[in-house]
Amino acid sequence: MTEYHVAAVDLGATSGRVMRAVVGLDRLDLVEVARFPNGPVKRAGGLHWDIDALRGHIIAGLRAALAEDPLITSIGIDSWAVDYALMAGDRMLGTPFHYRDDRTARGVAAVHAVVPPDELYAASGLQHLPFNTVFQLAAEGDALAAAERFLLIPDLVAYWLTGRSVAEATNASTTGLLDPRTGEWNDALIARVGLPRRIFPELVRPGDDRGPLTPAMAADLAAPEGVRVTAVGSHDTASAVVGVPMTRPDAAYISCGTWGLVGLELEHPVITDASREANFTNEGGVDGRVRFLHNVMGLWLLSETIRSWEAESGPFDLGRLLVDAAAVSSPVPLFDANDERFLPPGDMPGRIAAVLVEQGDAVPATPAAMARCILESLAVAFADAVRDAARLANREVGVIHLVGGGALNSLLCQLVADRSGMPVLAGPVEATALGNVLVQARALGLGGSLKQLRALVAEVYPPQRYKPRG
């Protein structure tokens, strides 16, 4: 039986990893080779990504993966959405901004001055988030004059490896500048917003060949001859949805990490006044599917809270905190996990407390009670988003798949089951990397539909079931 050896670069907003995998008709072995931190850094001019450190980690991880498995023939890259580098020739014009930088506010104002929110939604099908790429590009001002193109983060990594500048469509769909009906750049919208058309690269789709490693990169990685880069669902959620072991047509998904992406996989976009008012987005998926979903703030709320506590009093044991939070028996207050005041980094416990006081609620007195408050609020937001997705898409939903790092949080999984009244199937944790390597293997010759790929995930990584209580 033919088996395919591939590597995945999987970049999240708080950490990245390089994985290697062997994929066959009944085999799906995934091994973590390298894991490294990722996050914002404050520099002159705002909040940025430490892109040089990220590049170093990626190159070191790929070098290690190829050393461990010389049979690797393909590399796939996925990452978080919306952020980019402006390029002139082979150099970046500055360091990529982090989406939490507050410059985006002026971009929102500039875009909405020429394209009202309802018209922007009708053209893009995209949920309003103040950091969408369209707003970031509008905030660039004179910097665009020198730019020849922009490359979203996974496209930038692929450029480092191959020297080819293209944009993968699933991540391009998060920019707000792609037509969700045609899957092509929306030239009319680009012109109306006042952006230069020249900076928009050629589009490629999941499964397309991005090209071979450059000779210099192949030498740097000590790669065997013939290693190529394959386009995958380069938006990490697009890859994660491929890795969701959905075996029922009435399934919803939650890809839960720093963000919680909650929604359905559809054949066609849902672009209505009701979906706009509910702030639902239509993003591109693998095989031309639509990820109809809502972004919820996610475990950022808890991780940023813990970071604030640790800055004050030293390390926190997350496992112990979650055990204590599960033991909290008194009711805790709830807050809106979608409140944009929670978007920036900083004093998360203080901001949550301020919102609770504003509502007339008592602030939890212990870390365990605050953690329970956060997780209960997230569970409510997740359950509401599932119900909204079903209503807006006119679909029945009977089960929720929760993948990503949140699948390790048994308290959160149980709370989502309780709040939704539906069973929650948790796992796999590495759904994004699995989706990445499966699309690569299929492009190399494995074949199979999304249904068949997901059946393989379900067989090799059976999810844990949480039943709703009461």
Q: Which of 236, 384, 388, 418 is catalytic?
A: 236
Q: Are 3 and 24 in contact (CB under 8 A)?
A: yes
Residue 201 DSSP class: P
Report the C-alpha gap between 342 and 304 in whole angstroms: 10
Q: Are 174 and 230 in contact (CB under 8 A)?
A: no
Report the C-alpha gap between 388 and 395 in whole angstroms: 10
Report the C-alpha gap between 154 and 359 in whole angstroms: 41
Report the C-alpha gap between 225 and 304 in whole angstroms: 44
Q: Per the omega criterion (within 30 degrees of 0), is the bond before 212 cis?
A: no
Q: Are 178 and 169 in contact (CB under 8 A)?
A: yes
Report the C-alpha gap between 15 and 36 in whole angstroms: 6
Residue 408 DSSP class: G
Report the C-alpha gap between 355 and 348 in whole angstroms: 11
- Identify residue 69 by its one-letter amino acid code: D
Q: Which of 237, 139, 146 is nearest to 199 (CA)?
A: 146
- Identify residue 89 by its one-letter amino acid code: G
Q: Which of 226, 224, 172 is nearest to 203 (CA)?
A: 172
- Sign of the CA dihedral 78, 82, 88, 92? negative
Left if phi > 0, otherwise alpha if psi is -120 to 50, otherwise beta: which for 220? alpha
Report the C-alpha gap between 234 and 206 in whole angstroms: 8
Give SS3 for 441.
Answer: helix
Residue 430 token pair: 């590495």
Q: Are 4 and 443 in contact (CB under 8 A)?
A: no
Report the C-alpha gap between 122 and 393 in whole angstroms: 16
Q: Measuring CA to CA, how many Å separate 222 from each of 149, 276, 362?
A: 30, 49, 59
Report the C-alpha gap between 420 and 410 in whole angstroms: 15
Known catalytic residue: 102? no
Report the C-alpha gap between 310 and 307 in whole angstroms: 5
Active site positions, annotated = 236
